[in-house]
C-alpha cells in the first residue's frame, strides 16, 4: 500500500515536524506547488526523493502572484486528488496552509526580485508576478527550512529568479531545476491545461512544435531574427494570441543578437482562448 504524506495545515504542526526531521539529521527537500498535481509535479517529487532524506511538498495557490484580472478564482483546486497523487510519490509531508496562515491580517511585506525578474518576458505581461512568487517562496523556505528546493524548467524565468534570489540572500538552500514533462504530443504539462476546450487542446501542441521548429532551424544556422519572426507568425496562425516568443541567453536570459551569443533558450507565452500557456526549449 502506498504511504500517503502526513498533512500539515498549521505552522506549529509544520514546525514540530520539521524540527523532528532536523533532530534526526535528515536532509530536507522542498517542492513548492500550487496543487492540481500532474506528472510534471511528481517528477520534481521523485527528484527530491533521490536527493534528500525527507521530502516536503507544499500546496498553496498563492494569491500574491495573481493580478486582479487573472485566474485566481478559477485556478484548478482538488486537494483530495493531490493527496492521492502524492501517496506513493515519496513525499513525507504535505504542507497545505490556509491563505490566512500565509497572509494574516496586517501582512505588509513584499520581496521584489531584480535581475532575471525584469528582462521583458513574464514580467512584462505579469508585472506583479515575481514579487508574489519571491515573497511566498521566501516564506516557504523559512517555514520548511529545506536544504534543497526543486523548481521546474517549465517556468524557466522563475527558476532563474529563485536561483538569483537564493544566491543574493546567501540562503543555505541548493536550488535545483528539473526538466519539463510533456504529454505525448509535446504539450508541456500544466495545471491550466485543464481549462482547455477539446478544440483548444487539439491546437495546444502546436506551441511546442513551433518552438522545436525554431530550435532546429537555429541549430542548422538560419538567421535568428528571421526564425523568430516566422515562429511568431506560425504561433499566431495556429490560433494563439502571442505574448512573446524570444531567443535569450539560456544562463542570463538576456536578449541575444545571434547564435554566437548562446547557449540559447527559446521562451514563449501565448493565450489560447482564456488559457495562457508558457513553454521553452533549449537550442
Ligand atoms: P505550479 O504548481 O504550476 O506552481 O508548479 C509547481 C512547480 O512544478 C514549479 O516549479 C513548476 O515549474 C513545476 N512544473 C509545472 N509543470 C511542470 C512540467 N510540465 N514539467 C516539470 N515541472 C513542472
Cβ 41 under 6 angstroms from ligand 1: yes
Given this model, what pLDDT does residue 98 score?
Answer: 97
User: Among candidates 72, 99, 94, which has minimal Cα distance to 83?
Assistant: 94
Average pLDDT of every residue of the chain:
96
Cβ 154 under 6 angstroms from ligand 1: yes
208 is catalytic: no
Given this model, what pLDDT does residue 218 score?
Answer: 96
For residue 112, give every residue at least 6 positions away whose Cβ sits within 8 Å of its Cβ, in sequence order, or none. Answer: 130, 131, 134
Given this model, what pLDDT does residue 259 score?
Answer: 84
Cβ 34 under 6 angstroms from ligand 1: yes
C-alpha 159/C-alpha 26 separation (Å) is: 25
Cβ 44 under 6 angstroms from ligand 1: yes
Cβ 193 under 6 angstroms from ligand 1: no
Residue 260 alpha carbon to ligand 1 centre in Å: 30
Residue 190 alpha carbon to ligand 1 centre in Å: 7
Q: How far apart are the first and last CA of the chain?
A: 42
pLDDT tens column, 118-166: 999 999 999 999 999 999 999 999 999 999 999 999 999 999 999 999 9
C-alpha cell at 25: 539529521
Q: For residue 227, is pLDDT > 90?
A: yes
Residue 213 alpha carbon to ligand 1 centre in Å: 24
Region 202-231 average pLDDT? 97
C-alpha 33/C-alpha 59 separation (Å) is: 5
Catalytic choice (15, 38, 41, 128): 41
Region 82-87 average pLDDT? 95
Given this model, what pLDDT does residue 2 score?
Answer: 67
Confidence category of residue 88, pLDDT binned at 50, 70, 90: confident
CB 62 within 8 A of CB 102: yes
Q: For residue 52, is pLDDT > 70?
A: yes
This prediction has a pTM of 0.96
Cβ 60 under 6 angstroms from ligand 1: no
Confidence category of residue 36, pLDDT binned at 50, 70, 90: very high
Residue 38 alpha carbon to ligand 1 centre in Å: 9
Given this model, what pLDDT does residue 262 score?
Answer: 81
Region 212-224 average pLDDT? 96
Given this model, what pLDDT does residue 261 score?
Answer: 86
C-alpha 123/C-alpha 132 separation (Å) is: 11
The sign of the dihedral angle between the CA atoms of 228, 234, 238, 239 is positive
CB-CB neighbours of 68 under 10 Å: 6
Q: Which residue's CA is minimally distant from atom 22 of ligand 1? A: 152
Amino acid at each position: 500500500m502506498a504511504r500517503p504524506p502526513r498533512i500539515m495545515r498549521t505552522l506549529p504542526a509544520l514546525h514540530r515536524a520539521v524540527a523532528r526531521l532536523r533532530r534526526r539529521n535528515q536532509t530536507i527537500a522542498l517542492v513548492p506547488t500550487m496543487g492540481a498535481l500532474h506528472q510534471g509535479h511528481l517528477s520534481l517529487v521523485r527528484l527530491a526523493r533521490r536527493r534528500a532524506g525527507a521530502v516536503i511538498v507544499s500546496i498553496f495557490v498563492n494569491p500574491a502572484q495573481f493580478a486582479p484580472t487573472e485566474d485566481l478564482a478559477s485556478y484548478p483546486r482538488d486537494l483530495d486528488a493531490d493527496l492521492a497523487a502524492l501517496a506513493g510519490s515519496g513525499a513525507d509531508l504535505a504542507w497545505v496552509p490556509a491563505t490566512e496562515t500565509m497572509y494574516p491580517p496586517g501582512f505588509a511585506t513584499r520581496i521584489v526580485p531584480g535581475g532575471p525578474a525584469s528582462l521583458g518576458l513574464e514580467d512584462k505581461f505579469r508585472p506583479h508576478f515575481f514579487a508574489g512568487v519571491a515573497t511566498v517562496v521566501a516564506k516557504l523556505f523559512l517555514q520548511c527550512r529545506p536544504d534543497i528546493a526543486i523548481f521546474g524548467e517549465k517556468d524557466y524565468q522563475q527558476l532563474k529568479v529563485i536561483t538569483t534570489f537564493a544566491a543574493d540572500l546567501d540562503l543555505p538552500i541548493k536550488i535545483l531545476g528539473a526538466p519539463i514533462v510533456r504529454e505525448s504530443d509535446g504539450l508541456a504539462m500544466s495545471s491550466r491545461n485543464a481549462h482547455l476546450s477539446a478544440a483548444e487542446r487539439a491546437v495546444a501542441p502546436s506551441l511546442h512544435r513551433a518552438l522545436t521548429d525554431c530550435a532546429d532551424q537555429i541549430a542548422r544556422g538560419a538567421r535568428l531574427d528571421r526564425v523568430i519572426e516566422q515562429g511568431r507568425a506560425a504561433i499566431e496562425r495556429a490560433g494563439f494570441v502571442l505574448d512573446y516568443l524570444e531567443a535569450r541567453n539560456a544562463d542570463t536570459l538576456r536578449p541575444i543578437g545571434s547564435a554566437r551569443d548562446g547557449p540559447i533558450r527559446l521562451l514563449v507565452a501565448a493565450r489560447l482562448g482564456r488559457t495562457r500557456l508558457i513553454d521553452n526549449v533549449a537550442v
